[in-house]
Amino acid sequence: MKKIGFLLGCLACLGSFANAQTFTPKVSKDSVGVLMARLEAVKASAKLQSLKIKEAEEENDVEKLRIKVLEAEGNVKASAQDQADAAEKTKAGNLDAKAAEKIAKKAKSDVVDAQKALDRYNKQIEKVENLRNEIKAEERKLTYKKPYIVFDYK
Protein backbone atom coordinates (compact mmCIF):
# COMPACT_ATOMS: atom_id res chain seq x y z
CA MET A 1 0.00 0.00 0.00
CA LYS A 2 2.76 2.34 0.91
CA LYS A 3 4.48 1.60 -2.39
CA ILE A 4 1.37 2.46 -4.40
CA GLY A 5 0.85 5.70 -2.48
CA PHE A 6 4.48 6.57 -2.97
CA LEU A 7 4.28 5.83 -6.71
CA LEU A 8 1.11 7.88 -7.07
CA GLY A 9 2.77 10.75 -5.20
CA CYS A 10 5.81 10.58 -7.49
CA LEU A 11 3.63 10.50 -10.59
CA ALA A 12 1.66 13.50 -9.32
CA CYS A 13 4.91 15.40 -8.76
CA LEU A 14 6.21 14.52 -12.21
CA GLY A 15 2.91 15.52 -13.74
CA SER A 16 2.96 18.86 -11.94
CA PHE A 17 6.56 19.52 -13.07
CA ALA A 18 5.61 18.77 -16.64
CA ASN A 19 2.62 21.06 -16.30
CA ALA A 20 4.75 23.80 -14.72
CA GLN A 21 7.15 23.76 -17.65
CA THR A 22 4.52 24.85 -20.15
CA PHE A 23 3.91 28.59 -20.41
CA THR A 24 0.87 30.04 -22.06
CA PRO A 25 1.36 33.75 -22.79
CA LYS A 26 -1.55 36.12 -22.39
CA VAL A 27 -0.14 38.57 -24.90
CA SER A 28 0.84 37.52 -28.40
CA LYS A 29 4.17 38.44 -29.97
CA ASP A 30 2.38 40.84 -32.30
CA SER A 31 0.83 42.56 -29.31
CA VAL A 32 4.26 42.98 -27.72
CA GLY A 33 5.46 44.74 -30.87
CA VAL A 34 2.41 46.96 -30.82
CA LEU A 35 2.97 47.73 -27.14
CA MET A 36 6.60 48.65 -27.79
CA ALA A 37 5.55 50.92 -30.65
CA ARG A 38 2.95 52.51 -28.38
CA LEU A 39 5.59 53.04 -25.71
CA GLU A 40 7.78 54.84 -28.24
CA ALA A 41 4.79 56.98 -29.23
CA VAL A 42 4.15 57.88 -25.59
CA LYS A 43 7.81 58.81 -25.09
CA ALA A 44 7.72 61.00 -28.21
CA SER A 45 4.52 62.62 -26.97
CA ALA A 46 6.12 63.33 -23.60
CA LYS A 47 9.11 64.89 -25.35
CA LEU A 48 6.75 67.02 -27.45
CA GLN A 49 4.92 68.23 -24.34
CA SER A 50 8.18 69.12 -22.60
CA LEU A 51 9.23 71.11 -25.69
CA LYS A 52 5.92 72.97 -25.62
CA ILE A 53 6.43 73.80 -21.94
CA LYS A 54 9.93 75.07 -22.70
CA GLU A 55 8.53 77.15 -25.58
CA ALA A 56 5.99 78.74 -23.23
CA GLU A 57 8.76 79.62 -20.76
CA GLU A 58 10.88 81.13 -23.53
CA GLU A 59 7.90 83.14 -24.80
CA ASN A 60 7.46 84.49 -21.28
CA ASP A 61 11.09 85.62 -21.37
CA VAL A 62 10.43 87.28 -24.75
CA GLU A 63 7.65 89.34 -23.18
CA LYS A 64 9.91 90.40 -20.31
CA LEU A 65 12.64 91.42 -22.76
CA ARG A 66 10.11 93.29 -24.91
CA ILE A 67 9.17 95.38 -21.89
CA LYS A 68 12.87 96.09 -21.23
CA VAL A 69 13.34 97.14 -24.86
CA LEU A 70 10.41 99.53 -24.60
CA GLU A 71 11.82 101.00 -21.38
CA ALA A 72 15.25 101.41 -22.99
CA GLU A 73 13.70 103.12 -26.01
CA GLY A 74 11.86 105.46 -23.66
CA ASN A 75 15.15 106.26 -21.92
CA VAL A 76 16.80 106.97 -25.28
CA LYS A 77 13.99 109.34 -26.28
CA ALA A 78 14.20 111.13 -22.93
CA SER A 79 17.98 111.42 -23.23
CA ALA A 80 17.65 112.74 -26.76
CA GLN A 81 15.19 115.36 -25.57
CA ASP A 82 17.49 116.31 -22.68
CA GLN A 83 20.41 116.61 -25.08
CA ALA A 84 18.36 118.81 -27.42
CA ASP A 85 17.38 121.03 -24.49
CA ALA A 86 21.01 121.18 -23.36
CA ALA A 87 22.12 122.19 -26.86
CA GLU A 88 19.65 125.08 -26.83
CA LYS A 89 20.81 126.15 -23.36
CA THR A 90 24.44 125.99 -24.55
CA LYS A 91 23.60 128.29 -27.46
CA ALA A 92 22.02 130.70 -25.06
CA GLY A 93 25.02 130.39 -22.74
CA ASN A 94 23.04 129.09 -19.77
CA LEU A 95 24.78 125.67 -19.59
CA ASP A 96 28.40 124.92 -18.85
CA ALA A 97 30.46 122.34 -20.77
CA LYS A 98 30.65 119.92 -17.85
CA ALA A 99 26.86 119.54 -17.61
CA ALA A 100 26.59 119.16 -21.40
CA GLU A 101 29.23 116.43 -21.34
CA LYS A 102 27.36 114.62 -18.57
CA ILE A 103 24.11 114.73 -20.56
CA ALA A 104 25.88 113.49 -23.70
CA LYS A 105 27.50 110.62 -21.77
CA LYS A 106 24.11 109.61 -20.34
CA ALA A 107 22.55 109.69 -23.81
CA LYS A 108 25.32 107.51 -25.20
CA SER A 109 24.94 105.05 -22.31
CA ASP A 110 21.18 104.86 -22.91
CA VAL A 111 21.71 104.13 -26.61
CA VAL A 112 24.17 101.32 -25.79
CA ASP A 113 21.76 99.86 -23.22
CA ALA A 114 18.90 100.00 -25.72
CA GLN A 115 21.01 98.22 -28.35
CA LYS A 116 21.97 95.48 -25.87
CA ALA A 117 18.34 95.02 -24.85
CA LEU A 118 17.31 94.79 -28.51
CA ASP A 119 20.04 92.20 -29.18
CA ARG A 120 18.91 90.06 -26.21
CA TYR A 121 15.31 90.38 -27.41
CA ASN A 122 16.23 89.23 -30.93
CA LYS A 123 18.26 86.29 -29.60
CA GLN A 124 15.34 85.23 -27.43
CA ILE A 125 12.97 85.40 -30.40
CA GLU A 126 15.41 83.23 -32.35
CA LYS A 127 15.40 80.66 -29.52
CA VAL A 128 11.60 80.54 -29.60
CA GLU A 129 11.57 80.11 -33.38
CA ASN A 130 14.10 77.26 -33.12
CA LEU A 131 11.93 75.58 -30.49
CA ARG A 132 8.87 75.97 -32.71
CA ASN A 133 10.72 74.33 -35.60
CA GLU A 134 11.78 71.49 -33.32
CA ILE A 135 8.18 71.09 -32.12
CA LYS A 136 6.94 70.90 -35.71
CA ALA A 137 9.52 68.20 -36.47
CA GLU A 138 8.50 66.20 -33.39
CA GLU A 139 4.82 66.53 -34.30
CA ARG A 140 5.56 65.17 -37.77
CA LYS A 141 7.44 62.23 -36.23
CA LEU A 142 4.59 61.62 -33.82
CA THR A 143 1.96 61.37 -36.55
CA TYR A 144 3.72 58.24 -37.81
CA LYS A 145 3.76 56.60 -34.37
CA LYS A 146 0.13 56.01 -33.59
CA PRO A 147 -0.31 52.24 -33.62
CA TYR A 148 -3.58 50.60 -32.84
CA ILE A 149 -3.37 48.43 -29.76
CA VAL A 150 -5.01 45.04 -29.97
CA PHE A 151 -4.92 42.89 -26.86
CA ASP A 152 -5.63 39.23 -27.30
CA TYR A 153 -6.14 37.80 -23.83
CA LYS A 154 -6.82 34.09 -23.59
Please give the C-alpha separations between residue 129 and each of 39, 71, 88, in angstroms, as whole numbers: 29, 24, 46
pTM over 0.85: no
What is the CA 112 to chain-centroid distance, rounded? 31
Residue 15 has pLDDT above 70, yes or no: no
CB contact at 8 A, 65 and 121 = yes
Query: How do residues 89-105 score in pLDDT, each as one tens digit?
Result: 777 777 777 877 888 89
13 vs 124 pLDDT, higher one: 124
The whole-angstrom separation of Cα 148 and Cα 35 is 9
Q: Please state, rounded to an integer, the average pLDDT across all residues of the chain.
A: 82
Domain definitions of the chain by residue range: 27-143
- The pLDDT value recorded for residue 70 is 94
Q: What is the mean pLDDT of residues 93-121?
A: 87
Measured CA to CA, the distance from residue 35 to residue 20 in angstroms comes to 27
117 exposure class (CB count in 10 Å sphere: 0-12, 13-18, 19+): buried
